[in-house]
Homo-oligomer: A and B are copies of this chain.
Amino acid sequence: MTVPPPRTALLQGTLDLLILKALNLGALHGLGVSRRVEAITRGTFLVKPGSLFPALHRMEEAGWLVASWGSSENNRRARYYKLTAAGRRQFESEVSQWERIAMAISLALQAN
């Protein structure tokens, strides 16, 4: 995952959250996830294949996703990913984690 202007560091660990969100909007194949993440973050997050596929495999392993081979709109062989019930729970949990953390940092930055 990259946050454009060359900086890349800030925010590992949000990749799962963004992928879960993308798939929560509907099943997608790998590159589709990547594009949807870019779209919903308005280009702020770019997920490269080298980050994307290991993450998808990891999340499938964890039981948050199920995958099946299909064919893309362009008639290419593509692997579609779909959230499981556990995946939706995980998503909800990561959202509230995110909210807690974002709030905490926001407050921290205002401290005097």
- Interface residues in chain A, defined as those with a beta carbon under 8 Å from any beta carbon in chain B: 3, 7, 9-14, 17-18, 21, 25, 37, 40-42, 44-45, 94-95, 97-98, 100-102, 104-109, 111-112
Contacts and interface: CB of A to CB of B under 8 A. Distances in A.
A24 B81 CA distance: 45
B10 A14 contact: yes
Given A10-B13, A41-B108, A97 B3 contact: yes
A94 to B, nearest CB: 7
A107 B3 contact: no
Contacts of A104: 41-42, 44-45
A12 to B, nearest CB: 5
Given A12-B13, A21-B111, A44-B104, 7 more contacts: A10-B97, A14-B105, A21-B109, A41-B104, A41-B108, A95-B109, A98-B109
